[in-house]
């Protein structure tokens, strides 16, 4: 059913700048943004060791409560920081992220280091190579100080993990974190690190970002190399960052984006300068308001906040344009699930034969579906996909520059109500959670999650900007404009 057209009469303006839920401490460098931390280290105002010690202190203090960490070697983290400080002292050329502590989802391989992928099956797996994305962050000077928890083999959108334990939402530990990059969302929101890599096959960057009040970028399929990242579904998998601000996100994407001979689907399309475009004027840009699908079943408290964010864009000079969504979008959610299960089953077929009991029940059940998908059906879906991509981009982006949607149609669920292992009918519930994220994966389009307030229960709420292929820069430009006018991104959960 079409939603009402957004207009000044029905849009509720965001409140004026308001205090954080928890007071930021100027003495605690962990509360800096990534951009502030990088600038402070480069200027010599604070050392990489001081930054790292602040992050490690929070990890030690808060992890028992939020369960973000899959692995931590404090001595190694401090050694990295000391090496970064020594390089700066010698006058070595510094990368854009020099000395800044990051941590990443436990599916990015680093040679010789355990990468368990949230599983029992790989609990002792030590890869013989390092992921391209990590290599590029290394080259930019970033530190890699911890491995972060995740859904088992990245196959889930709620954050639950029956095998290694479930991370907790730092805004309310009774609520889900979103998945599958659960630990990445928790660690960044809890100020344990300044940014983290996640992966997104059906929403697994954007959903944890939304649930934890962060910025998350699912890039265009082929924009960032997946080499050295655990595969789930090869025709859907993407690599991207979770951060506290749009600028921070662009800094990481600038470092990791680009073609890689080790991942043949990466595109030669030029990356461009994301940071240089952040402060460009957004007046005249056409922001699309979907007339169908993306608002189907949206909760009133979510609608209020998301529509209010449109008023901010309107006030900045953007044109809000209602846009008809192709009817075929309604099937993309289920088709994305079918592709994920089928391609995932191909990756896991040997273990499903020999070690099925070592999987958690949800992962095992979803992989089993893929094992029984007929090859003819899978191939028909891939053929249909090409047609639907052309149709969607032609109909939507022929009229608007970006599409603006709610990221989730519901407030952040509790752990109990989103526990698929305990509830029947889990497949339909998963479809509801990923209702607005999976179409972006099916279409291969970039999607940026931006926090836009809090529902009455105190949990974050977000909108999503979707763009044309390889137009991440425009999404960053609009997201940054929104954050220049609001302060939701400055808020921190109270974990005292």
Query: Counting beta carbons within 10 angstroms of the beta carbon of residue 43, is it exposed (0 to 12), middle (13 to 18) or buried (19 or more)?
Result: exposed
- What does the alpha-carbon distance between residue 389 and residue 470 come to, in Å, rounded to a whole number? 14
Q: How large is the average pLDDT for residues 445-461?
A: 99
- Give, for 23, the enclosing helix (H) or strand (E): none
pLDDT-derived band at 162 (thresholds 50, 70, 90) equals very high
Contact 404, 447 (CB under 8 A): no
Mean pLDDT for 451-458 is: 98
Q: Is 272 exposed, middle or buried (0-12, 13-18, 19+ CB in 10 A)?
A: middle
**What is the chain's mean pLDDT, rounded?**
94
Mean pLDDT for the stretch of residues 154-167: 97
Q: How do 101-105 and 143-148 pair as beta strands?
A: parallel
266 φ, ψ to 5°? -65, 140
Q: Where are the alpha helices (DSSP H) in 372-488?
A: 375-396, 426-433, 438-443, 472-485
CA–CA distance from 37 to each of 29, 46, 185, 193 (Å)?
7, 8, 19, 11
Region 319-345 average pLDDT:
97
- Per DSSP, what are the bridge partners of residue 289? 322
Confidence tier at 209 by pLDDT (50, 70, 90): very high
Per-residue pLDDT band for 7 (boundaries 50, 70, 90) equals very low
Q: How far apart are CA 73 and CA 42, in angstroms?
A: 25
Least reliable range by pLDDT among 16-25, 303-312, 396-405: 16-25
Tell me the domain boundaries of the chain: 29-490
Summarize pLDDT for 379-428 with one digit per residue, the tens. Answer: 999 999 999 999 999 999 999 999 999 999 999 999 999 997 767 777 78
| pLDDT at residue 272 is higher than 60 | yes
In contact, 154 and 230? CB cutoff 8 Å? yes
Q: What percent of the chain has pLDDT over 90?
A: 91
Distance CA 197, CA 14 (A): 30
pTM of the model: 0.95
What residues are annotated to the active site? 105, 180, 204
The pLDDT of residue 317: 99
Across the chain, how many H-helices and E-strands are there? 14, 11
Say if residues 282 and 478 touch (Cβ distance below 8 Å). yes
Are residues 183 and 148 in contact, defined by beta-carbon separation less than 8 angstroms?
A: yes
Q: Of how many residues is the chain composed?
A: 496
Residue 87 has pLDDT above 50, yes or no: yes
Residue 95 predicted with pLDDT over 70: yes
pLDDT at residue number 426: 74
Report pLDDT for 21. Answer: 53
Distance CA 426, CA 419 (A): 8
What would the pLDDT profile of 216-271 be if each residue is shown by its tens digit? 999 999 999 999 999 999 999 999 999 999 999 999 999 999 999 999 999 999 99
Which residues fall within 8 angstroms of residue 69, CB to CB, at 6 or more apart? 59, 63, 146, 147, 148, 149, 183, 187, 192
Instruction: Return the minimum-mean-pLDDT range out of 5-19, 120-134, 274-288, 432-446.
Output: 5-19
Helix (H), strand (E) at residue 84: helix 74-90
Distance in angstroms between the alpha carbons of the first and the last residue of the chain: 44
Strand residue runs (E) in 272-318: 286-290
Alpha carbon distance 359, 337 (integer Å): 19
Average pLDDT over residues 282-308: 98
18 pLDDT above the threshold of 80: no
CATH architecture of the domain with residue range 29-490 = Alpha-Beta Complex (3.90)
Unique residue bearing structure tokens 């400080």: 85
Residue 26: what pLDDT? 52
């Amino acid at each position: 059913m079409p939603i009402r057209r957004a207009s000044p009469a029905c849009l509720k303006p965001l409140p004026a700048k308001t205090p954080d839920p928890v007071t930021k401490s100027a003495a605690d460098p962990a509360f800096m943004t990534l951009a502030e931390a990088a600038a402070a280290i480069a200027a010599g105002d604070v050392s990489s060791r001081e930054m790292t010690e602040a992050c490690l202190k929070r990890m030690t203090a808060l992890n028992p409560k939020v369960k973000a960490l899959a692995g931590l070697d404090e001595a190694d983290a401090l050694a990295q920081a000391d090496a970064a400080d020594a390089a700066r002292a010698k006058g070595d050329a510094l990368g854009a992220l020099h000395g800044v502590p990051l941590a990443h989802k436990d599916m990015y391989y680093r040679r010789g280091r355990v990468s368990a992928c949230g599983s029992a099956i790989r609990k002792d797996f030590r890869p013989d190579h390092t992921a391209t994305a990590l290599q590029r962050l290394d080259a930019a000077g970033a530190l890699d100080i911890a491995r972060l928890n995740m859904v088992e083999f990245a196959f889930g959108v709620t954050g639950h993990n029956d095998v290694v334990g479930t991370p907790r939402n730092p805004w309310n530990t009774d609520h889900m974190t979103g998945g599958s990059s659960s630990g990445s969302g928790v660690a960044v929101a809890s100020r344990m690190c300044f940014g983290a890599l996640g992966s997104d096959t059906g929403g697994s960057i954007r959903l944890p970002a939304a649930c934890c009040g962060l910025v998350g970028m699912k890039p265009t399929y082929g924009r960032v190399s997946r080499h050295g990242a655990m595969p789930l579904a090869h025709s859907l998998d993407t690599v991207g960052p979770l951060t506290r601000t749009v600028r921070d996100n662009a800094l990481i994407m600038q470092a990791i984006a680009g073609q890689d001979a080790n991942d043949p689907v990466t595109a030669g399309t030029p990356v461009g300068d994301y940071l240089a475009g952040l402060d460009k004027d957004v007046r005249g840009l056409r922001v699309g308001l979907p007339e169908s699908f993306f608002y189907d079943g949206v909760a009133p408290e979510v609608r209020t906040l998301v529509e209010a964010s449109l008023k901010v864009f309107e006030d900045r000079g953007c044109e809000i344009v209602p846009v008809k969504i192709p009817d075929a979008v309604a099937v993309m959610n289920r088709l994305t699930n079918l592709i994920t299960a089928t391609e995932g089953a191909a990756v896991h077929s040997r273990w499903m034969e020999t070690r099925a009991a070592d999987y958690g029940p949800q992962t095992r059940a979803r992989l089993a579906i893929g094992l029984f998908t007929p090859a003819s059906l899978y191939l028909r879906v891939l053929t249909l996909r090409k047609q639907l991509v052309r149709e969607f981009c032609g109909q939507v982006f022929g009229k608007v520059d970006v599409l603006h949607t709610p990221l989730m149609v519901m407030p952040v669920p509790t752990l109990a109500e989103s526990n698929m292992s305990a509830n029947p009918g889990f497949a339909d519930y998963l479809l509801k959670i990923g209702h607005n994220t999976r179409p972006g994966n099916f279409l291969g389009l970039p999607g940026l999650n931006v926090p836009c307030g809090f529902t009455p229960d105190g949990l974050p709420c977000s909108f999503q900007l979707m763009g044309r292929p390889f137009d991440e820069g425009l999404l960053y430009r609009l997201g940054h404009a929104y954050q220049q006018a609001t302060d939701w991104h400055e808020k921190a959960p109270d974990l005292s």
